[in-house]
A and B are shown apart, each in its own frame.
Chain A
């Protein structure tokens, strides 16, 4: 493995924040951001006036533009980024914030994803999610993203031989990982029988394959290692980070995400390989999505991932260690931060009650934005514990 090349040298993430506001919330989206920022400041000791960079991700700020948050939160900034990439939001926010700090454009960047969910909020969002979706997908049953991912899962199963029992095992394992996680909305065991007899939403996807929309916020800081040390903060080093957007746009198959295109760079820059990763957090709005990430990132064999993951207790235990969105719910774009915040928590020893031992390296990947038949944005990041 090649030695680290140092793009992210001296850059760290710190202060993991997860706030759960239940399935529905009457609080405004700016208020959710305010609570997340307040929690970040309180648990880190960082002064609000020292936050000079802000990356935000949200679907429910409309009609406000994201920059309105700088005023709402009373932040005077040198650097700002609106990273509204759904399930890729957290990793992309980190990547760009880290590069901004490295370039001297900001010293301390707060990265926050927050979304409220109301009784009609999710429906309103997906109805007009994009022109292509509104005109050429939604009229065909109005099933939302579940329709698209049912078709994608069906295609994956036909090509790979994966079974519903494989996905039952994957969903059940994630639920087991959530049993001690206080912000999980589902933390009771899920049996194979419960999964296989559950209400069908869009075959082969049943109730337990689909994330539940919730209201919530996830946040963390990006700063230099020197600054984190001066503040007395536990932190994780950023070793490498990649993005891909519309990676396979010319192909009719929607199964490719693009992680494989940057995988060599990702591992080479980090100086580690898949075998060195102690925990891996994938974006899991549907279980097949996690399988696609784990395959392209080298944890599972291409086209065999679901059946391999279904029988690998070791990988199941270190995969989505908080139970993922299938257990914690999907707080809009904040769902794209969930795995990253969980990885920071594990790497800094702050997962009280569900802490894994000997966590030195974490890989976090993201996948987001179905504007037609597939997700367009993907990312992956490797982090290292301080010690």
Chain B
């Protein structure tokens, strides 16, 4: 598996819309005048799953892994790892990049 590359959102200087994952232009007004911004430090859980199957041999010993989708606002959703086994939808979480055995990945911690 390639080294994970979690991108930051980008903000359009012209229309202020966020695009995530970043792509070098605004998905709304198509302007190329965008700047990377830091991921919001928090968000709200949309859903969480305990993953028991992986296609990558290096990940299998780490299973089960908890993966969640987190709404960071402005219509943007990020995938994260979390040490939590369960999180209710709507739970506020803090987000940052942490080192896991499979790379430096976006991680959610209950607020």
Please give the residue numbers on chain A whose beta carbons come within 8 Å of chain B beta carbons, in ascending order.
123, 126-127, 131-132, 134-144, 146-147, 150-152, 154-155, 158-159, 199-205, 249-254, 372-373
Contacts and interface: CB of A to CB of B under 8 A. Distances in A.
A250 B21 contact: no
Contact of A137 (B47, B55, B79): B79
Interface residues of B, number: 40
Given A127-B55, A252-B76, A140 B67 contact: yes
Contacts of B68: 151
B4 A200 contact: no
A138 B59 contact: no
Residue among B4, B7, B52, B76 with the highest chain A CB neighbour number at 10 A: B52
B46 to A, nearest CB: 6
A252 B50 contact: no
Interface in B45-69: 46-56, 59, 63, 65, 67-69
A142 B1 contact: yes
B56 A142 contact: yes
29 contacts: A127-B1, A131-B21, A132-B21, A135-B7, A135-B21, A136-B21, A136-B79, A139-B4, A139-B6, A140-B80, A141-B51, A143-B67, A151-B48, A151-B68, A158-B47, A200-B50, A200-B52, A201-B51, A202-B53, A203-B50, A203-B52, A205-B49, A251-B75, A252-B71, A252-B76, A252-B77, A373-B69, A373-B77, A373-B79
A142 B54 contact: yes
Given A127-B55, A141-B59, A201-B52, A250 B67 contact: no
A139 B47 contact: no
Given A136-B79, A155-B89, A147 B49 contact: yes
Contacts of B65: 140-141
Identify the 4 closest CB pairs spanning chains A and B, nearest first.
A139-B4, A150-B49, A154-B47, A142-B56
Nearest to A154: B47
Contacts of B88: 158
A357 to B, nearest CB: 41
Contacts of B80: 140
A135 B2 CA distance: 9
Contacts of B48: 151, 154
A147 B7 contact: no
A138 B6 CA distance: 10
B51 to A, nearest CB: 4
A127 B1 CA distance: 8
Given A252-B75, A373-B77, A142 B67 contact: no
Contacts of A203: 49-50, 52
A139 B104 CA distance: 10
B102 to A, nearest CB: 7
Interface string B1-23: 11011110000000000000101
